[in-house]
Amino acid sequence: MDYIECENESQKTSVEVQDCFECTDWDMFREAATNGEFINLEEYTSTVTSYIGKCIDDVTTSKTITICSNQKPWMTAKVRALLKTRDSAFRAGDKTALKTARAKLSRAIREAKHAHAKRIHGHFQDSGDTRRMWQGIQAITNYKTTSPACDRDAPLPDALNDFYARFEVQNNVVARKTIPPPSDQTTTIFPVPKKSTVSCLNDYRPVALTPIMMKCFERLVMRHIKTQLPPSLDPMQFAYRPNRSTDDAISTTLHLALTHLKNKDSYVRMLFIDFSSAFNTIIPQHLIEKLRLLGLNTSLCNWILDFLTERPQSVRIGNSISSTTTLSTGAPQGCVLSPLLFTLLTHDCAPTHSLNHIIKFADDTTVVGLISKNDESAYREEVQRLTAWCGANNLSLNVDKTKEMVVDFRRAQSDHSPLIIDGSSVEIVKSTKFLGVHLADDLTWSLNTSSITKKAQQRLYFLRRLRKAHLPPPILTMFYRGTIESIDEDDKDEETTSAVTELDNAGRSTEYIPRDLPTDEGPSTSAHNLSRTWLNPPVPDHAIQPAEFFSVYHMDRTLDSGKSRGGGVCLVVNNHWCDSTSIVPLSCSCTPNLELLTIKCRPLPSTSGIQLGHSQCRLYSTSSGHRHCSIGLT
């Protein structure tokens, strides 16, 4: 049995709070904190924050709700009262009263379920509010979170707080500066388990929560910092840069590798570096020196220095709060400025040899060594220099989690000796996860496609539960596009034809859930259905005959040994004019099985340069052996 204390907030509550703020004389707080010409910033901010909290407490009501572990989500006070009435009538032996109580209870349960379903539907009305959408999904799937228990000899919050402060270095440098309010610097750490089974304190990720006002001010400071940075700063840093993303980092890495592998007697070594508590090891004084070299003004650098030093920090787990510890090292994970400051700290981490490249996305760092004729001297020297740079910048390499992958397509491959970092050898792996994508040493997408397919299959469970809850088709369509189709389409941009086929097979499972999911591009159907509906149809008189529209090509792919691998079918559009009511296939791929062939269609765009309302399709590319057929507009 759980007891939850919640506050009742409504639109009326927000209006009352706004009215309270409008009639408040805010100058009195500043005058009360002023002594001559000196303003006590800590007193000023604390009194304003306390007053805002008091105003909110005055207009909100708190109540305690008792929730049993087996209680239905639609249970209401009215239903519980009718349950008691029915039980009383049953114990009294009054058949008439029992019959009446049962009828009222059944009616109340139907009304409660209907009201609960209406509330759940309300979570999906606003497509931009992802938090409410996931709350609705959690309510439908009965998702429950488990909070870590404090069952150690020493309280777990205090132990975690001491663990997160283990990199503390006292800062005795005091300069003339603009000091942020200590109350706004106060950080509350909410430890999040990195994995399902926690074995040590390092298995918790420290997520810091700072006051709302400080987060707003951090965004202003971050915007100001970005305007003062040169555009050419750290071109291989793909995080927090305009028009850059993880896809760009992955594409750049693969492009460098594939381009080099075209050369004779060449291979590529990739070192995926893992830092130990990268944000917690930042020394503010070293960071400020680099910010000044980048041209940031003194007052801004001093503010950042004070923002990172003398920070009160505590850890909270449930209702247990640790004692407060003051830190002067590191940047709290969860703050707005922390990721940007880390990228500025590492901007001077650049390769010294032209055949080495360092790809960075925030704290994810990858060293790409382009090696020819088994000469690894430049690559190994680069790793040694990077290790020395990390030591000079107080960044600790986690050698156990650092992995290396060798991409070698040569027929006569030699044994590759592992790297040695700080006396420990780096493990050479066949595959690894790089910025959310599974990379293999043969640079194929099979492993990544299997992972994406598995993820899509898992999310189909939520779609089935939404359909079981009788949600309308628009909500099912929105959820499908946002959580299932999105990962499939993003993955198809980089996959091969066989990988796309596997993803299409996973996506085809949704045809049995909501049977009327529309698409922006028009209908999408399998070649098997097309052969039944388009090649043998009754068609309108004004449309062309489908037999003239399609040509069926049978293909027989053979192995190098001359043995057949089995046949397939490819539908190809002939060079014919089509009526405006026709649908133009844009592309199709030949596959070994007819059922796996999918043709996506959409109406002719008006910007195609052809007379509006007509279209023309022509086979423009056919690879050898009819392995792939592509169709395009002319």
| Share of residues in the chain with pLDDT > 90 (%) | 17
What pTM, to 2 d.p., does this model score? 0.60
Q: Are 591 and 554 in contact (CB under 8 A)?
A: no
Q: Average per-residue pLDDT in the chain?
A: 72
Mean pLDDT to the nearest integer, 273-288: 88
Q: Are 353 and 381 in contact (CB under 8 A)?
A: yes
* DSSP-derived secondary structure letter, 483: I
Cα Rg for the chain, rounded, in angstroms?
32
Mean pLDDT to the nearest integer, 521-550: 38
pLDDT band for 128, please (50, 70, 90 cuts).
low
pLDDT band for 572, please (50, 70, 90 cuts).
very low
Q: What is the pLDDT of residue 147?
A: 54
Distance CA 51, CA 263 (A): 70
pLDDT band for 592, please (50, 70, 90 cuts).
very low
Q: Is 443 helix (H, G, I), strand (E, B) or coil?
A: coil
Q: What is the pLDDT of residue 538?
A: 41
Beta carbons within 8 Å of 276's beta carbon, 6+ residues apart:
396, 397, 398
Q: Are 347 and 234 in contact (CB under 8 A)?
A: yes
Flag whether pLDDT at 368 surpasses 90. Answer: yes
| Lowest-confidence region among 104-108, 196-200, 512-516, 541-545 | 541-545
Q: Give pLDDT tens digits for 203-246.
A: 788 888 887 778 888 888 888 998 888 878 888 989 888 888 88
Q: Give pLDDT tens digits for 159-173.
A: 656 555 443 433 333
Higher per-residue pLDDT: 186 or 106: 106
Q: Which residues pair with 370 in a beta bridge?
A: 268
In total, the chain counts a number of residues equal to 634
Flag whether pLDDT at 177 surpasses 70. Answer: no
| Lowest-confidence region among 28-42, 130-144, 357-371 | 130-144
Q: What is the pLDDT of residue 369?
A: 93
Q: Are 358 and 242 in contact (CB under 8 A)?
A: no
Flag whether pLDDT at 97 surpasses 50. Answer: yes
Torsion region of 613: left, alpha or beta (phi above 0 gives left; psi -120 to 50 gives alpha): left
Paired sense of beta strands 311-317 and 187-193, if any:
parallel
* DSSP-derived secondary structure letter, 397: B
| Lowest-confidence region among 78-87, 318-327, 477-486, 581-590 | 581-590
Mean pLDDT to the nearest integer, 391-415: 88
Q: What is the pLDDT of residue 242?
A: 80
Higher per-residue pLDDT: 469 or 597: 469
Flag whether pLDDT at 277 surpasses 90. Answer: no
Higher per-residue pLDDT: 519 or 405: 405
Flag whether pLDDT at 584 surpasses 60. Answer: no
Which helix (DSSP H) or strand (DSSP E) does residue 14 occupy?
Answer: helix 11-22
* DSSP-derived secondary structure letter, 74: T
27-45: string of b/e by CB count within 10 Å (b at 16+)? eebeeebeeeeeeebebbb
| Lowest-confidence region among 222-226, 276-280, 287-291, 353-357 | 276-280
Higher per-residue pLDDT: 302 or 147: 302
Strands (E), 148-281: 187-193, 204-209, 266-273
Structure tokens at 612: 């509006």
Q: Give pLDDT tens digits for 422-447.
A: 888 999 999 999 998 999 989 888 88
pLDDT band for 28, please (50, 70, 90 cuts).
confident
